[in-house]
Every structure is written in C-alpha cells, then in structure tokens.
Amino acid sequence: EAPPAALSVLYLLAVALLVTWHLLLLVTLTYRHTWARNAAGAALGWAAWALTYRGWYRWAWSPGPPGWG
C-alpha cells in the first residue's frame, strides 16, 4: 500500500532540506573567508550532523531518525 500523499510530500521536503544543507556547506567551504575558517565551519557542520544522527537518535527517549517507526 502506498503512503499517504502528505507523507510523501513531507519526505520530499526533508530530502530537499538535506540537499540544501549540503549545498550551503559546500558553498561556505568554497567561497568564504580563509581556508582554515572554511575547514572549521565544515567541521562544525559535520559535527552537528554526527551529534544528531549518531548520538541523539540512539537514545532511548529519542523518536529515532526520520523514517523509523
């Protein structure tokens, strides 16, 4: 059975947000400030992702990553 249309749209919007996040990270790394500041910004962006997906989502009280459950 296919998921409801609203859920499909929500999923597509989440994917669009993820793509936008990666694009912004890439542009920031490429075109702003010095290389060291760019690398620090990219590291902070990756750390935020890692903290969310490898940390917070694994706790018992977390709802889990999108699509689980």
Question: What tens-digit pLDDT sequence spans the chain (69 residues)?
Answer: 888 998 989 999 999 998 998 898 788 777 767 888 888 888 888 898 888 877 877 777 777 766 665
Q: Is residue 52 part of a domain?
A: no
Total structural domains in the chain? 1
| 49 falls within a domain | no
Q: What is the pLDDT of residue 25?
A: 77
pLDDT at 58: 75
In a domain, 59, yes or no: no
The answer to whether position 22 is within a domain reads yes
Task: Quote the Cα angle for 7-10-14, to 5°.
Answer: 140
Residue 17 has a pLDDT of 94
Instruction: Give the Cα separation of 16 and 35 in Å (integer).
Output: 28
Q: Which domain holds residue 6?
A: 1-28
| Residue 12 maps to a domain | yes
Q: For residue 65, is it within any domain? A: no
Q: What tokens does 12 get?
A: 């597509």
Give a yes or no: residue 13 inside a domain.
yes
pLDDT at 14: 92
Give the CA dihedral 6, 7, 13, 15, nearest 10 degrees.
-160
